[in-house]
Chains A and B, each alone.
Chain A
Amino acid sequence: MSSVSDAGHTRRSVHLERRLHVEPRRAALVRLLGVATALLIAGVFLQVTGRSAFALAGEVIRSTFGQRRGLEETAVIATPILLDAIAVAIALRMRIWNIGAEGQFYIGAWAAAGIGIHFNLPTPLLLLMMAGAGVIGGALWILVPAIARAHWNVNEIITTLLLNFVAVTWVEWFSIDIWRDKQAAVIQATPLVNARLPGLFGSTTLHAGFLLPLALAVVAWFVFRNTRWGFEVDMIGGNPRAAEFAGINVRRRIVTVMLISGAIAGLSGMVHLAGAAGRLQGTISNSYGFSGFIVAALAGGSFVGLVAGGLFIALLLHSGILLQTAGLSIYIVLAIYGLVLVGIAVAGGRSSLAGPPGETLP
């Protein structure tokens, strides 16, 4: 590299100006615009394929907001989405993309199921053990990608993603084969776990786990606003070399943060298992990991935005499930996610999320 001065410095600051110049309020507004555009395109697509977008939208609103059950179902979906989103968001502050939240969710659920099926203990104790298993499972699942990223600069997107496929297969193996509930004739799943999370507000659908992401979001918000640890993570995300110069141990922190991210995603799996699903099966996740990722990307670093975005995405996903009766598959929702992501990319592409995944390609 030419070791000449950075007399291109004027050039560089002009360049950066373009990138940094988006104020947070404006950025949020532009993101909303991106989301709205995505929905618009989806609506057009629906119209074009012969369905009335308005009728569907009406149906969705009625089913969701009109009945208590609709709201509860949305909240049940929102729980794993929000937890996964928090997991991804924490890593994202260091510009690390944990697309493997889905896989960590699965392994967390698996580990929790292992405890929950085979032990019979008082509920609070068992739940605690299951939670511990979920946390450890998720963290272990991200361990190899974490070390590979921190020490050898291996792209974490590809590594965590490949492990997603492995995780799903692993859980399928156990739920269809090893731990299969022989008594239940039809479903290919494990028996029910021996401890379930209590219902919220006397509901049989909505479980106490819903409170967890809300609490975690507050904690995360506090950590990144007020603590040394959070400050250091943000500095690493902004410029790892400068962080190193400032005395921060970058490699160790990368591993730590990724492990925390994996742990939370694993916990998310446990919560969903013990709160909603009850049994472990190959389809225990309804794309919650990817949804969480979208939410984190939407939130752009704000934990308040994350909660709002998570509830919105849960609504979308819930609608998708509802709309299956109208002949649409859940996959349309995925496509809509994609459009939303494009909307975010176009809108916020020049602000805090801009930039490639570090020097992650060897």
Chain B
Amino acid sequence: MVDRGRHRRCVVRSLPRGERELTGPAPSAPDERVIEARGITKGFDGALALDNVDLDLWRGEVHALLGENGAGKTTLSNVMAGIYRADSGVVLVDGVEHHFRSPAQAIEAGIGMVHQHFRLIQPMTVAENVHLGWDDTPRFISTRTLVDRTERLMSEFGVHVDPNAEIWQLSVGEQQRVEILRTLARGARVLILDEPTAVLTAQQAKELFSVMRSLVAGGRTVVFISHKLNEVLEVSDRITVLRDGRRIITRDAAGATARELARLMTGEDRDFEVKSRGRAGDRPLLQVVGATARSARGLVALHDITLTVHAGEIVGIAGVSGNGQTELAEVVTGLRRTDSGRVLIDGVDLTDASPRRFAQAGVGHIPEDRLGVGLVPSAQVRDNAVLHQYWQPELSGKVSLKRGPISEFATRLVSSARVQTRSIHSPVGHLSGGNQQRLIAGREAMVASRVFIAAHPTRGLDVHSTEDVRRSLLDRRDAGCAVLLISDDLDEVLLISDRVAVMYEGRLVGEFRREDADRQRIGLLMGGHVAPASEEAAP
């Protein structure tokens, strides 16, 4: 089977690529098309997420859906996977028209999707999750039968995880494998992966790619949703670019360049370049010394972290989510206690102080969870804007709030942070994610007179808000703050930071100046491969 697949692909490959391009979107032989989507349109609350999109997926290919956040890649996939119903348009599977009313129906037709937010039951085991809602599961179950069946499936598809483990115990990469196994077990011939590498190290991503290739070698189709150009170029056979809900182009991966794809994705020759580097002073504004702390679950999350950020510099912490970054951000902003170690802000020991004390000391924080921690969604924009400053004498007396100054403050903040909102009295939950983040970034930038902590600040944001948020970080740096950026997007870290550190399993495993930063090395460190001392760049 594998051989035949490879042979088939070799045959395909032997046709000169250029010739394919010249003859335009040639209709392939009918039986090669496993999915045809025609004229898919979908709107939400008046805004079009998909505008008359066509898509062909062939058997045995890795097909990338490339686009910025908000371009419509996930929406299109959700339509194919039966989660959304298109407003108009049709999806054909093997030539048969389908109008899926539920994910279950799509799975029956052979289409399965692994989402960015895993649909797994945390307190249940891998075996239980694999067998959830599955008619093939025997009526009466026991732990043993489920585990045995799961192990058999794992051998069949070559995907391995401990079947007895409960989901919350697994790493994100392992959880992803459970999702993939589950989808394959249901007989998916088309597997849609939504931003699968967002949570993986470079090494794990490579492993995922080889799984993908072996799946398509077996005749399946993999749809790879991503906004990461390099990866798309590395693993895909064909690429479809979406922008603002429209399909821009579908072409072979061979011969495409990153620059060209980027231009197609954004529609302009945009290059967010950082014009200048920070001029780091000597004054250490943020010092973490030997900090050890536990996570919410009680496991040790930070091991003896020592880190210094000086005035006028941006230090970027690279690393895959879940290696202690959350806890680090919480420890330096008063949201988590340390087991040992110290935190100093401009020389003042604020270890284990309250969030209010940190704010008073001039520490601003863009939290990782903007709706869960950063904002009160049911409250007005105005209230959220002053949430971290309302206690200042300009905005309130000993007892009463000064409503006039508060409204003015909020209005000024909204305008300077470029938050798009109908009024400052709208509930902040109404705003788009990008505008919410602009509000938070603007608010925190005002608090940050000395230190600015940003945890995954541009996650899930569209291009414009991403730029605005990054700009606020740079502005603070230029104003003399110490900025700590935590991000699992290595590109972003390398783009903005003056110094780069890598976190792995709660430890800092490498520190470089931007100029000395080597992508590949950092990637290895992120995955836990420690480089021998002699290769360390001089500090």
* Co-complex (A, B): yes
Contact B45 A17 (CB under 8 A): yes
Which residue of B is nearest A243, CB measured? B376
Contact partner of B460 among A2, A7, A14, CB < 8 A?
Answer: A7
Give residues 41-82 of B contacting A (CB, 8 Å): 44-45, 69-70, 74
Give residues 288-335 of B contacting A (CB, 8 Å): 321-322, 326, 335
Contact B45 A231 (CB under 8 A): no
- Cα distance, A239 to B376, chains bound together (Å): 5
**A6 in contact with B430 given A231-B390, A243-B376 (CB within 8 Å):** no
Contact B400 A238 (CB under 8 A): no
Which residues of the other chain, B, contact A19 by a CB distance below 8 angstroms?
378, 429
Is A307 part of the binding interface, using a Cβ–Cβ cutoff of 8 Å?
A: no
Contact B456 A5 (CB under 8 A): yes
**A247 in contact with B198 given A3-B172, A13-B432 (CB within 8 Å):** no
Contact B401 A245 (CB under 8 A): no
Contact B116 A4 (CB under 8 A): yes
Q: Which of A1, A244, A352 has the most CB of B within 10 A?
A: A1
Contact A235 B373 (CB under 8 A): no
Contact B335 A13 (CB under 8 A): no
Is A246 part of the binding interface, using a Cβ–Cβ cutoff of 8 Å?
A: yes
Contact partner of A2 among B175, B378, B400, B432, CB < 8 A?
Answer: B175
Is B442 part of the binding interface, using a Cβ–Cβ cutoff of 8 Å?
A: no
Is A226 part of the binding interface, using a Cβ–Cβ cutoff of 8 Å?
A: yes
Is B39 part of the binding interface, using a Cβ–Cβ cutoff of 8 Å?
A: no
Is B352 part of the binding interface, using a Cβ–Cβ cutoff of 8 Å?
A: no
Which residues of the other chain, B, contact A228 by a CB distance below 8 angstroms?
390-391, 396, 399-401
Give residues 224-263 of A contacting B (CB, 8 Å): 226-229, 231, 234-235, 238-239, 241-247, 249
Which residues of the other chain, B, contact A362 by a CB distance below 8 angstroms?
none
Contact string, B74-115, partner A, CB cutoff 8 A, digits 1/0? 100000000000000000000000000000000000000000
Is B204 part of the binding interface, using a Cβ–Cβ cutoff of 8 Å?
A: no
**Whole-angstrom distance between the Cβ of A101 and the nearest chain B Cβ:** 24
Contact partner of B372 among A7, A227, A241, CB < 8 A?
Answer: A241
Contact partner of B172 among A4, A229, A234, CB < 8 A?
Answer: A4
Which residues of the other chain, B, contact A241 by a CB distance below 8 angstroms?
372-373
Contact A242 B373 (CB under 8 A): yes
Contact string, B393-407, partner A, CB cutoff 8 A, digits 1/0? 000100111010000
Is A50 part of the binding interface, using a Cβ–Cβ cutoff of 8 Å?
A: no
Give residues 429-443 of B contacting A (CB, 8 Å): 429-433, 436
Contact A3 B459 (CB under 8 A): no
- Cα distance, A231 to B44, chains bound together (Å): 34
Which residues of the other chain, B, contact A13 by a CB distance below 8 angstroms?
429-433, 436
Which residues of the other chain, A, contact B69 by a CB distance below 8 angstroms?
7
Which residues of the other chain, B, contact A231 by a CB distance below 8 angstroms?
383, 390, 401
Contact A8 B401 (CB under 8 A): no
Contact B388 A2 (CB under 8 A): no
Is B257 part of the binding interface, using a Cβ–Cβ cutoff of 8 Å?
A: no
Contact string, B111-137, partner A, CB cutoff 8 A, digits 1/0? 000001110101000000000000000
Which residue of B is nearest A240, CB measured? B376
Write 8 A-B pairs (CB below 8 A) sorted by A numbering: A1-B122, A2-B172, A5-B459, A7-B116, A13-B432, A231-B401, A239-B375, A246-B356
Q: B residues bordering A, Cβ < 8 Å?
A: 44-45, 69-70, 74, 116-118, 120, 122, 168, 172, 175, 195, 198-199, 321-322, 326, 335, 354-356, 359, 365, 367, 369-379, 383, 387-388, 390-391, 396, 399-401, 403, 427, 429-433, 436, 456, 459-460
Q: A242-B372, A246-B387, A247-B354 are in contact. List 14 more A-B contacts (CB 8 A).
A: A4-B321, A5-B456, A5-B459, A6-B433, A6-B459, A7-B198, A9-B460, A20-B429, A20-B430, A228-B391, A228-B400, A241-B373, A245-B374, A247-B355
Q: Report, nearest first, the 6 A-B pairs whose CB atoms are least far apart.
A: A247-B356, A238-B376, A16-B429, A5-B459, A9-B433, A239-B376
